[in-house]
Structure 1
Amino acid sequence: MLRVATYNVRGLKDDRRALVRVIRALRPDVLCVQEAPRLPGWRRERRALARAAGLSVAAGGSVGGTAVFVAPAVRLLSGRGHRLRWFPGLEWRSVALAVVEKTVEKDRERYAVCSAHLDLQAGARLSHAAQIMPILERAARQSRAAPVLAGDLNEVPGSPVWRLLAARYTDCFTAVRDAAPHTGPHTGPHIGAGIGAGIAAGGDDGRAGATFPARDPRMRIDAIFAGPGLTVVSCGGADVPATDLPAASDHLPVVAEIAVTPSAGA
């Protein structure tokens, strides 16, 4: 089982100590980062953040601000960045992709994990989402790994990008929400703070699982998608003091536990 988290860290413009506390509370095997530092000194800044959180930088370049960090519990097999199609007048976007291996009991499970940050412009978002899926699945196929896509979609569920991704992958939040027993406000499997409250409530009132803005979450625009052959075990947020979340970033993080489905192999 792999513990994957995604977090838009807003270029480290907020309280870094709170940010590190939130990341540590997520306890990720793999952390997908958006708005990672990309100005001069970006490598040093990313390494410092990763080190403070007990992680190391696995993938990502200066363009696009996406990165993947990994914990010592996983073995990094490969890591790289991919620049996406450039649209004139818009920010040049990219994805960071890391292939990792985790030993679970005697089994070695491989995952190809992709961090994405989609554009504010709808046409570019959809074009990039369509471009990202074959990049991720090619890496997964070549490495005999299971694909995982995580990031800031800049779009709410039901919109075109979500429909495109949901046709191929499993939205971890929805999978856990739909599976959770609706017996009370604190019910739900492995739920932390933040977006976990929306899952635990057992419903979706339009704000359930919201990740943005952190001070008054109203929209769910950050997500983790599990590819074919994977089972979603849990999905939630960081179990930290409520004051740390808005202090750390303008987004809330999402964390999910994902396992290779036994019949699918590793």
Structure 2
Amino acid sequence: MLEQQLFNALSLGSVYALFALGFTLVFGVLGVINLSHGAIFMLGSYVALLLVDKLSMPLPLALLAAMLVTGLIGFLVDYLILRPLRARNVPHLVPMIATIGVAIMLTNLTQGLFGTDNKRFPFGTIPEGSFNWGHLHVTAVQVGIIGISFVLMLVLLSIMRKTQLGRALRAIAESPKAAYLLGINVDGLFYLTSFAAAALGGAAGVLVGLSFNAISPYMGQPMLLKGIAVIILGGMGDIRGALIGGLFLGFAEVLTVAYISSDFRDAVAFGLLFLILLVRPSGMFGKILERKA
């Protein structure tokens, strides 16, 4: 039924949007496409799995802990790698290559520690409750994924639009030099942005792990490609665009699988992306952000 497919698409698209929000936040504020974001997404699922499996931690606490750990990893990536490159004012391609190296390192480290086989959450960890609403079958996991994703997205949007912190971040996105002259702690907010973006990526990793109950060291790469597609579709650096673009991609994939074929899922989704960009090369929401100073 169409209602069921639309609900499934909402569940998947909300995770895509959550992942892309962290991705676009780093680009919008730091001006860097952090290609280690997919590996950090993958690590979030492994952290939650270890805490649940080895320490018997409740799933909500494991989710928060995974966000904290991945946030710290994002901070370290910024402090140890991106900060020295910023200080040297290197071309934009250099941080991208550096974060590719970080992603490969994290993926290989995870592969060495846990192997390449899919891991699953222990039986009973994932809520199995469900209910029917007309022709719609809703599971507790789907409700949790949609709820958590939208809460985190709304919190981020509220911070960016209604707080002094959000105004400072928007000022840095426009011009880090001008923001510094205005007395804004630019370096501190760079670190905070990297922490928050990685935490959102880690949360998305946990939610995907719960949704499919399959965790592997290579799960970050396809999500990274989709995240890049989402932020380009929505408009580079635009948070609204990441939200709408993620939902669009989720709906395109699910409806293609349901009514065409799973073999054409990515072909149709990325084909639609291509057509939209032919009409609006800068994405759905405005022009590509550029540093002015």
> Structure 1 length normalisation: TM-score?
0.27
Identify the structure with bigger relative contact order (alpha carbons < 8 Å, sequence gap 6+): 2
> Structure 2 length normalisation: TM-score?
0.25
Which structure features the higher share of strand residues?
Answer: 1
